Amino acid sequence: MASDTITAFFEGLAERGHEPLLQSTSGRLRFDLGIGKRVEHWYVTIKSGDLGVSHASGLADAVVRVDRALFEKIVQGRANGMTALLRGLIEAEGDLGLLMSFQRLFPAPPKSVYARRIK
């Protein structure tokens, strides 16, 4: 179920408490995950690498709107968020630098068959 995977991703962020990869990053991100006409909000605060997660829908430095099924693939490492953004499958506004920093927390997609062959 998509919400279980997504909830586990965000709860995992909250449990980390501090993420060294974001040590020099501060800001607020809001993820608006759509399923039909419903929207589920996840709000992530970053303060010098310290992470907080809630379901708030307040003001944010960056807002990401994405279909919940696609977001599930991203948090599972089965899809690349930046590729989806460039293809117009994700709508983002605000501080895109903050989003670029945050995207490092998503798992990398598995290597392609071609990449495995050339090793």
Q: Which two tokens stand for residue 31?
A: 């993820």
What are the sequence ranges of the domains in the chain?
Answer: 2-117
C-alpha to C-alpha distance for 10 and 61, rounded to whole angstroms: 18
From the CB of residue 80, how many other CB atoms can be counted at a distance below 10 Å?
Answer: 16
**Sign of the alpha-carbon torsion through 79, 42, 50, 16:** negative
Q: What is the pLDDT of residue 1?
A: 40
**pLDDT digits over 51-85, tens only?**
999 997 778 999 999 999 999 999 999 998 888 99
Report pLDDT for 97. Answer: 93
Residues of the chain with pLDDT under 50: 1-2, 114-119
Based on C-alpha coordinates, what's the Rg of the chain? 14
Rounded Cα–Cα distance for residues 116 and 119 (Å): 6
Centroid of chain to Cα 88: 16
Note the pLDDT of residue 112. 55
Q: Check: CB of residue 22 under 8 Å from CB of residue 46.
A: yes
- Rounded Cα–Cα distance for residues 74 and 119 (Å): 25
Residue type at position 17: G
Determine the Cα–Cα distance for residues 115 and 40; give it in Å rounded to an integer. 36
Multiple choice CATH, 2-117, 3.40.50.1000, 3.30.1050.10, 2.130.10.10, 3.90.78.10: 3.30.1050.10
CB 95 within 8 A of CB 62: yes
